[in-house]
A and B are shown apart, each in its own frame.
Chain A
Amino acid sequence: MPADHPHQDRPLTGCPECDLLFRLPAMAPGDTALCPRCGYVVTSNVRDGFYRPLIYAATGLMFLAIAMAFPFLSLRSSGMENSMTLPAMITSLTFFGEDVVAGLVLCFVFVIPALILGCITVLCQLLLLERHYRWLPLLARTLFQLNAWAMVEVFAIGVIVSLVKIMHMARVELGMAFWGYLAFALCFLLAMKNLDRLLVWSTIDRLRPLA
């Protein structure tokens, strides 16, 4: 089956939320296509194709490394000090026997978002190089399906709430990892926002060797 370009060839598509069949409109860069019946966001035609998500994803991964390696927050009260890192946040939960909660936090805040950024980096790089591998659809599928379970922005709000909670009882210092995580969260959101879903799939289709 020949691959249509989603922004030029106006391919027939369907809405996954209301099942309506329709043709995609011709889209200029910066346009977003919505389902005509239910308003579902089908895709956005992003400028510069795969370059932007690639750059944001690779940058985000570097910020994540900073967030994991340096102190996140430190607390000073009555002459005592306690500094915490993000890995220590997981281990202290397991220390108190909350292994399941620790595992969930680890997945939602670090593992899943990192996996998604890793998938975006590899996928966009290969699509830019016009290479096809058999596992390319799997990579793209993993990234789009896991997206609902990435909670970077929720964790960022959680950090701010925690800061307000302890502000009045102790002095809190923001570590390098604090800024690292915020930058990682921002890169994550930008990478996802700049990834044109239909262009990913049509490019994979186009690169697929004809059987």
Chain B
Amino acid sequence: MTTALERGLVVCHVCLALNPLHDHRCRRCHSSLHARTPHSIQRTVALLITACILYLPANLLPIMTTTSVGSDLDSTIIGGVLVLWRTGSYPVALVILTASVMVPVGKILALSVLCWLAHGHRPMTPAQSARLYRITDFIGKWSMVDVFVVAILVALIQIGDIMAVRPGAAALAFAGVVITTMFAAESFDPRLIWDREIARND
């Protein structure tokens, strides 16, 4: 097994062309090239910390406010899940619980574990780590569901004084969590997982 780096080549992450090691732009698609993403772990950890900080207002502040016949009702993400559960909409409650709580938390945890693994700790094989990375990358955008639900309800539920819905501050914070975790997954360089493997075999 030979890696591109060992042969003095860089694989373009967009078009998969092989380029000489010290070129900055891909000869075929002109994307920027890096043999290994610079400061990959540092960048990922910084974005993960940002996501953790944003996750607090995203859960503590209301994601939307429902005004019904003069009285206001704030609902948080967890509150919304509980209401759905109590009214018997179990599948949707589970969808929201998965998308809004389990996915972002799972993603932050998974990326933290991957950063730790890339530093040479080895409770997982590279193949398992690679699978973890791929799942993390795939589930990232699904947490936006809750923000889209707010957007739809705010536009739809506007029936004069009877019932109206306003967006809450948590919507922006939550979108922030999703975007920072997506950038975190993007800045993590999965090649680092496999570099350790080679270093160990040598």
- Check: B53 CB closer than 8 A to any chain A CB: no
- Check: A38 CB closer than 8 A to any chain B CB: yes
CA distance A151 to B141 in the complex (A): 7
Q: Are A21 and B9 in contact (CB under 8 A)?
A: yes
B-side contacts of A170, CB under 8 Å? 157, 159
| Nearest CB on B from A79, distance (A) | 9
A-side contacts of B153, CB under 8 Å? 162, 165-166
Which of B1, B145, B162 gathers the greatest number of chain A CB atoms within 10 Å? B145
Interface of B is mostly: helix
Which of B134, B156, B172, B193 gathers the greatest number of chain A CB atoms within 10 Å? B156
Besides A80-B162, A145-B14, A149-B182, 4 new A-B residue pairs in contact (Cβ under 8 A), listed by A number: A89-B155, A93-B155, A101-B167, A165-B84
6 example contacts (A-B, Cβ-Cβ < 8 A) are as follows A12-B18, A14-B16, A19-B191, A20-B3, A92-B158, A198-B16
B-side contacts of A104, CB under 8 Å? 147, 175, 179
A-side contacts of B147, CB under 8 Å? 101, 104-105, 158
Q: Quick one: closest B residue to A105, CB to CB?
A: B151
**Total of A-B residue pairs, C-beta within 8 Å:** 200
A-side contacts of B167, CB under 8 Å? 93, 96, 98, 101
| Of A37, A82, A100, A154, the contact of B194 (CB 8 Å cutoff) | A37
- Check: B89 CB closer than 8 A to any chain A CB: yes
| Nearest CB on A from B150, distance (A) | 8
- Check: B39 CB closer than 8 A to any chain A CB: no
B-side contacts of A169, CB under 8 Å? 163
Measured CB to CB, the residues of B under 8 A from A are: 1-5, 7, 9, 11-18, 27-31, 84, 87, 89, 91-92, 95-96, 99, 126-127, 130-131, 133-134, 140-142, 144-160, 162-163, 166-167, 171-172, 175, 179, 182, 186, 190-191, 193-195
* Chain A: interface residue total (CB-CB under 8 A): 66
| Nearest CB on B from A100, distance (A) | 6
A201 touching B160 in the complex, CB below 8 Å, given contacts A19-B4, A38-B126, A38-B130: no
CA distance A185 to B149 in the complex (A): 17
A158 touching B155 in the complex, CB below 8 Å, given contacts A14-B11, A15-B11: no
- Check: A25 CB closer than 8 A to any chain B CB: no
Which among A51-59, A135-143, A187-195 touches the partner chain?
A: A135-143
| Of A18, A93, A102, A145, the contact of B130 (CB 8 Å cutoff) | A18
